[in-house]
């Protein structure tokens, strides 16, 4: 009798373990779909540098590989000018791109935006962008970005901070692009020299094949020259005109109290809240009816044999005790 009881208990425990595994497998996806939220972020796009390959014969004719670095070009210039003495190499003035980011509390947002724009115009700069929007319980906030001459950068900052009731944050940064600028200048000189050699090759070409190859390489060189010239111009303008971005928010204390009563707006918000609540309830009922109830039905069918077996054992034990 004891052995039989142990076998029944062991079988019941094993059955419960199997049942638990089945329940988790059935209900896991449904529960996860209700409480999980997936957020995806689009990765930044990679920036690839275009490369090209040339035929060895054309490279030998040009005497240029199209990818000389600034140190190599400077060394070649020094050797051509007299033994590479450092005194003959001109000193490049540092090229610094300065920028600032300010967060201010002001009395009047629109008035401050206009004042910052007028200041930028008076200093010889300009407004890059200006934006105002409703915030802080209907009060006006805004953002404005300006560019001013680099030599007036500090004066502009002091003037802008003078418009503020409180300066919440101030971030000033500088980017030294001298090395990139010098390297681009060296590459530009080398490309222009290669362009001249290609023009000579085209003028003296003996056959159509040489002419087409030289024309193809000339097109590539001219495209690179235009790209480098554009980058040089961008660096020069960025260093000459510093960028200042100002974030403005109103001073709540200085703003007038809004005593306007909008009962229709309150009714609209209450109605929207009621609709959202009812929609959520209906959505939950639909989800349970479609995703949860079939799983519960399967679990109930799996539990039925265990229930009947337990009920039969309990009745048999009760009958024996009564007898």
**What pLDDT shows up at residue 41?**
36
Report if residue 180 sits inside a domain. yes
pLDDT for the residue numbered 145: 95
Q: Where are the alpha helices (DSSP H) in 124-168?
A: 153-162
DSSP state of 63: T
Q: Where are the beta strands (DSSP E) in the chain?
A: 96-106, 126-135, 139-149, 166-176, 241-250
Q: Are residue 184 and residue 290 in the same domain, yes or no? A: no
Q: State whether 144 and 290 are in the same domain.
A: no
> What are the Cα distances from residue 157, in Å, to 108, 116, 120, 163?
19, 10, 11, 10
- Cα separations in angstroms, 88 against 77, 82, 85, 186, 316: 9, 8, 6, 16, 112
Domain with 274, as residue range(s), is 261-311
Same domain, 116 and 138: yes
With respect to residue 47, please indicate whether it lies within any of the assigned structural domains: no
Concatenated DSSP letters of 65-99: -S---HHHHHHHHHHHHHTT-GGGSPPPPP-EEEE
From CA 111, how far away is CA 306, in angstroms rounded? 79
**142 neighbors 113 (Cβ within 8 angstroms):** yes
Residue 304 neighbours by CB under 8 Å, 6+ apart: none
Residue 42 lies in a domain: no
Same domain, 270 and 209: no
Q: What is d(CA 239, CA 177) in angstroms, rounded to the nearest whole number?
A: 9
Q: Is residue 191 part of a domain?
A: yes
pLDDT of residue 46: 39
Are residue 289 and residue 251 in the same domain, yes or no?
A: no
Structural contact between residues 319 and 25, judged by C-beta atoms closer than 8 angstroms: no
Same domain assignment for residues 254 and 286:
no
Return the closest-CA partner of residue 58 out of 222, 197, 188: 197
| Cβ neighbours, 10 Å, residue 36 | 8
Residues 194 and 302 grouped into a single domain: no
β partners of residue 145? 129, 245
Instruction: Please state, in angstroms and rounded to a whole number, the distance separating the CA atoms of residues 189 and 59.
Output: 17
**pLDDT at res. 55:** 41
Contacts of 104 (CB under 8 A, 6+ apart): 112, 160, 161, 163, 164, 165, 166, 167, 168, 246, 247, 248, 249
Gap between the Cα atoms of 209 and 302, Å rounded: 82
Residues 276, 227 share a domain: no
Same domain, 141 and 126: yes
CA distance 100 to 97: 10
Does 101 fall in a domain? yes
pLDDT tens, per residue, the chain with 323 residues: 455 566 666 666 666 766 667 766 666 555 454 444 333 333 333 333 333 334 444 444 444 444 343 443 333 334 434 444 434 445 567 899 999 999 999 988 999 999 999 999 999 999 999 999 887 666 789 999 999 999 999 999 999 999 998 999 999 999 999 999 999 999 999 999 999 999 998 888 888 888 899 899 999 999 999 999 999 999 999 999 999 999 999 886 555 555 566 787 788 888 889 999 999 999 999 999 898 888 888 888 888 888 888 888 888 888 888 76
Residues 152 and 275 in one domain: no
Residue 148 lies in a domain: yes
Quote the number of domains for the chain: 2
pLDDT at 260: 60
């Amino acid at each position: 009798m004891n052995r039989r009881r142990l076998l029944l208990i062991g079988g019941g425990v094993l059955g419960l373990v199997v049942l638990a595994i089945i329940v988790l497998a059935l209900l896991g996806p449904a529960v996860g779909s209700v409480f999980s939220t997936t957020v995806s972020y689009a990765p930044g796009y990679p920036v690839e540098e275009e490369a090209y390959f040339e035929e060895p014969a054309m490279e030998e004719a040009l005497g240029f590989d199209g990818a000389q670095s600034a140190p190599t070009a400077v060394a070649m210039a020094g050797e051509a000018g007299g033994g590479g003495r450092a005194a003959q190499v001109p000193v490049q003035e540092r090229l610094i791109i300065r920028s600032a980011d300010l967060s201010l509390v002001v009395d009047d947002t629109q008035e401050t935006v206009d004042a910052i724009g007028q200041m930028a115009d008076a200093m010889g700069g300009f407004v890059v962008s200006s934006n105002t929007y409703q915030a802080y319980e209907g009060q006006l906030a805004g953002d404005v970005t300006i560019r001013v001459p680099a030599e007036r950068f500090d004066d502009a900052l002091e003037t802008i901070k003078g418009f503020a009731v409180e300066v919440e944050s101030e971030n000033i940064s500088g980017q030294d692009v001298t090395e990139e600028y010098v390297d681009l200048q060296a590459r530009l000189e080398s490309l222009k020299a290669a362009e001249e050699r290609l023009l000579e090759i085209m003028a003296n070409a003996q056959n159509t094949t040489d002419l087409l190859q030289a024309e193809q390489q000339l097109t590539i060189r001219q495209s690179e020259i235009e790209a480098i010239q554009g980058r040089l111009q961008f660096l020069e303008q960025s260093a000459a005109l510093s960028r200042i971005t100002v974030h403005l928010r109103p001073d709540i204390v200085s703003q007038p109290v809004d005593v306007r009563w909008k009962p229709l707006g309150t009714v609209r918000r209450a109605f929207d809240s009621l609709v959202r609540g009812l929609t959520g309830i209906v959505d939950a009922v639909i989800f349970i009816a479609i995703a949860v109830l079939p799983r519960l039905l399967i679990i109930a069918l799996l539990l039925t044999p265990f229930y009947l077996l337990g009920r039969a054992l309990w009745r048999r034990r009760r009958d024996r005790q009564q007898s």
